[in-house]
Amino acid sequence: MSHAALLGDHHVHSTFSDDAVSTLAENVAAAAAAGLNTLRLVDHVRQSTTWVPEYLTAVRGLSVPEGLTVLTGVEAKILDASGELDIPALPTGIDRILIADHQFPGIDGPLGPTAVRERMASGWAADDVLDVLVTALIASMRRHPGNQLAHCFSILPKIGLSEDDLGDERIDAWARAAAETDTLVEVNEKWGCPGIRSLAALRRAEAGIVASTDSHVASDVGRYSRVIALLDAEDGS
C-alpha cells in the first residue's frame, strides 16, 4: 500500500550525535535521492549540551534541493514519571523536541532496563510498571506540547514486556494525550514501534503519525520496510 507518511523521514541523526556517521549535508542529499518531501534532522541532547546554536547555524547553511522541506529537532530522554526531559534551554529554531524512552522514567529518576527487571523480579508488579511508564509519557506530552514521541514503547521489550501488555485503557489514554497536545508519534523503522494496536488507537484519537528511520547513516534515510508493514497491517486491521 502507499502511505503519505512514507514521503517523510522525521528522525535522522548526523555527526552532531556521537553515535552517527553522516553529516547534515549527506542526510539532505540522501533524502532528496530517496524522493522524500520532508526531512527532520535530529540529534541527541542532554541538559549539559551546548552545541544547539551551532547545529542550527549549520542547518540554515545547508543547500536544500527544491521540493524538500528540512525541519529541525533534538532528541531527549524522559527522566522521570513527572515528564521532565534531559534537555538544555533551547534557542529559537528547533521545530520539535523528540521525547524518547531511552531509559525507564521512574518515579525518582531514570532506570536502566536491568534495574527494572531486577525490581520486577523482586516483586514490582508489571501493571504498576506499565502505569508508571504511561503516566510519564502522558506527563511529558502535557509538559512539552507540540513535539514528537521517538520510538515510543521501545523500552518495553528491554524490560521483558510488550505493547500487548499495556491493554486498551492505557493505550487509549496515551493516544488521546498525543492528539490533545499536538504530539506527533513516529512509526520507527529501527525499533519497529509503536505496534498495530497502538497505531489504531492513534488513528481513532486523530493523533498525528509520521514515519522515521532513526537513521545514523545517510544510506538508511527514507528506507522503510518495518514501517510499511506496520502501516499496512494497521490499515487492514
**Residue pLDDT, tens place only, 4-19:** 999 999 999 999 998 9
Predicted confidence at residue 20, as pLDDT, reads 96
Closest CA to 88 of 126, 50, 143: 50
Determine the residue type at 8.
G
pLDDT at 170 > cutoff 50: yes
Quick one: cell of 51?
552545541
Joined grid coordinates for residue 26: 549527506
Q: How confident is the model at residue 190 (pLDDT cuts 50, 70, 90)?
A: very high
pLDDT at residue number 237: 63
Q: What is the DSSP letter of 40?
A: E
- Whether 99 has a pLDDT exceeding 60, the answer reads yes
Please choose, from the candidates 94, 43, 36, the residue with its C-alpha nearest in 3D space to the C-alpha of residue 64.
Answer: 36
CA nearest to 54, candidates 30, 24, 19: 24
Q: What is the pLDDT of residue 1?
A: 45
Residues 134-160 have a mean pLDDT of 98
User: Which among 141, 187, 201, 132 has a CA at the least distance from the CA of 161?
Assistant: 132
Planar angle of CA 190, 156, 132, nearest 5 degrees:
130
Domains located in the chain, CATH noted: 4-236 (3.20.20.140)
Residue 178 has pLDDT above 50, yes or no: yes
Q: Are 12 and 41 in contact (CB under 8 A)?
A: yes
What is the Cα–Cα distance from 5 to 2, expressed in whole angstroms?
A: 9
Q: Where are the alpha helices (DSSP H) in 102-186?
A: 113-121, 126-143, 155-158, 167-180
Mean pLDDT across 191-207: 98
Helix 113-121 to helix 126-143 angle (10° resolution) is: 140
pLDDT at position 84 over 70: yes
- pLDDT confidence of residue 96: 98
Residue-wise pLDDT for 44-77, tens only, equals 999 999 999 999 999 999 999 999 999 999 999 9
- The per-residue pLDDT for 144 is 98
94 is written with which cell numbers? 528547533
Q: Is the pLDDT of residue 191 over 50?
A: yes
Cα–Cα distance between 157 and 217 in angstroms, integer?
A: 25
Q: What is the chain's mean pLDDT, rounded?
A: 97
% of the chain residues with pLDDT over 70: 99
